[in-house]
Amino acid sequence: MTEGEHVVSLDDVHVHFESESGIFSREKDVVKAVDGVSLDIEENDVVALVGESGCGKTTLGKTAIGTQRPTEGSIAYRGQDVWEARDKDGDVEIPFERIRRALQIIHQDPGASLNPNKTVLHSLMVPLKLTKPDMDAFDRRERVHEMLSRVGMEPPEDYANRYPHQLSGGERQRVALIRALLMNPDLILADEAVSALDVSLRIDMMDLMLELQDQFDTSYLFVSHNLSNASYVTGKADGRIGVMYLGELVEIGPIDEVIENPQHPYTKVLMWAAPNLNPDAEEEPESPLRKIDIPDPRDPPEGCRFHTRCPEAREVCKEEPPGTDVDDAGNHRVACYRAIDDHEYWESPELVD
């Protein structure tokens, strides 16, 4: 990788979905699932995206691994535009096939991505055939057994011969993780990958992912509606947390800074809702939101999208969307006027409903 090239770089990415608004209507509604997000993912990075259901986390994650085409903006893998590679447009330095292997996913429901009619051994041989075509069948089998032992599935010979339905949810998720890792990826999108597991298994799975990160030299993009999980995994890995609201990345920064010094009022709301991150929660039983309902993503509010619910909103927030302000080190970004000391926000009247 030459200097300045990130593993994955999203530049002003928009993903808008069109849908018919009604049976008799010819009008198209547009859902702005992702709206103007820029994000760089580095070597051995851990980034978690958090936010309420429907805020665009999965869509942004899929865009980052090249399975969702942006409607505007670009995504590059090690400097190569992913969709130009896919379309064989211009000078393609990294073929799409290589990019697809480098960018992997594990889903919330690994059962859905494992073939129910194939044994664990069969499913795990597939990536090895692709990445190590010269390896013979005996060595492949050994490698699969070694990986099963590595994730605690002992005896591996037994697990290798099982079908997905003969595994628990946690075991299936481990197989999905091994399968992704055997592709030698540079980035794994873990889309709610631990959400379906019970709490102790969740921690085990997150620990395992981080332990294997060093061995496999990969980065992770975690998508989670649960701020506690996201902060656990990024805290352990010294990673970053990105907060999404209605298609926008409203705050991103190193985990300690975001949790200890949240800048966006929406990040503070998410923390209020995560009791283990907010020791004062018992003293603050009232939700800090002005309104509970999330606005319709087909018709997001003008100005700052959060102004309709924000406890700190002022008249000026109804006008221009706030740009992202960056701290001195340039690594904690927040899209809120409150981050700018001399902004006219501070003179603007409070918003009353």
Ligand X SMILES: Nc1ncnc2c1ncn2[C@@H]1O[C@H](COP(=O)(O)OP(=O)(O)OP(=O)(O)O)[C@@H](O)[C@H]1O
19 makes contact with ligand X (CB under 6 A): yes
- In this chain, which stretch among 54-62, 140-148, 253-261, 283-291 interacts with ligand X, using CB under 6 A? 54-62
Q: Which residues contact 312 (CB under 8 A, 6 or more apart)?
A: 265, 338
Closest distance to ligand X from the beta carbon of 198 (Å):
19
Tell the residue number behind the tokens 């992912």, with chain if given.
209
Q: How many residues bind ligand X (CB under 6 A)?
A: 14
The answer to whether residues 64 and 41 touch, using CB atoms and an 8 Å cutoff, is: yes
Nearest Cα to Cα of residue 321 among 296, 345, 288: 345
Q: What amino acid occupies position 332?
A: H
108 makes contact with ligand X (CB under 6 A): no
57 makes contact with ligand X (CB under 6 A): yes
The angle at the Cα of 242, spanning 240 to 245, to the nearest 5 degrees, equals 170
CA 277 to CA 267: how far, in whole Å? 12
Pick between residue 299 and residue 302 the one whose CB is nearest to ligand X: 299
Nearest Cα to Cα of residue 140 among 125, 119, 162: 125
Joined together, the tokens standing for residue 334 give 């927040």
- In this chain, which stretch among 49-57, 88-96, 173-181, 323-331 interacts with ligand X, using CB under 6 A? 49-57
CA 132 to CA 195: how far, in whole Å? 32
183 makes contact with ligand X (CB under 6 A): no
Pick between residue 56 and residue 110 the one whose CB is nearest to ligand X: 56
Using CB under 6 A, pick the residue from 8, 10, 13, 31 that binds ligand X.
31
Pick between residue 69 and residue 129 the one whose CB is nearest to ligand X: 69
Using CB under 6 A, pick the residue from 33, 209, 227, 252 that binds ligand X.
33
Pick between residue 58 and residue 229 the one whose CB is nearest to ligand X: 58
The angle at the Cα of 284, spanning 281 to 286, to the nearest 5 degrees, equals 120
State the alpha helices, DSSP H only, in the chain. Answer: 57-64, 82-87, 96-102, 110-113, 120-131, 137-150, 156-160, 169-181, 199-216, 227-237, 255-260, 265-272
Closest distance to ligand X from the beta carbon of 5 (Å):
27
Q: What would the x/- binding string for ligand X be over residues 295 to 324, using CB under 6 A?
A: --x---------------------------
- In this chain, which stretch among 1-9, 48-56, 90-98, 181-189 interacts with ligand X, using CB under 6 A? 48-56
59 makes contact with ligand X (CB under 6 A): yes
Using CB under 6 A, pick the residue from 9, 56, 314, 334 that binds ligand X.
56
55 makes contact with ligand X (CB under 6 A): yes
Using CB under 6 A, pick the residue from 17, 83, 163, 216 that binds ligand X.
17
CA 189 to CA 205: how far, in whole Å? 14
* Interacting positions 199-238 with ligand X (CB under 6 A): 225
* Interacting positions 278-297 with ligand X (CB under 6 A): 297
The answer to whether residues 294 and 246 touch, using CB atoms and an 8 Å cutoff, is: yes
> For residue 204, with 0-12 CB atoms within 10 Å meaning exposed, 13-18 middle and 19 or more buried, which class applies?
middle
Residues that bind ligand X (CB under 6 A): 17, 19, 31, 33, 51, 53-59, 225, 297
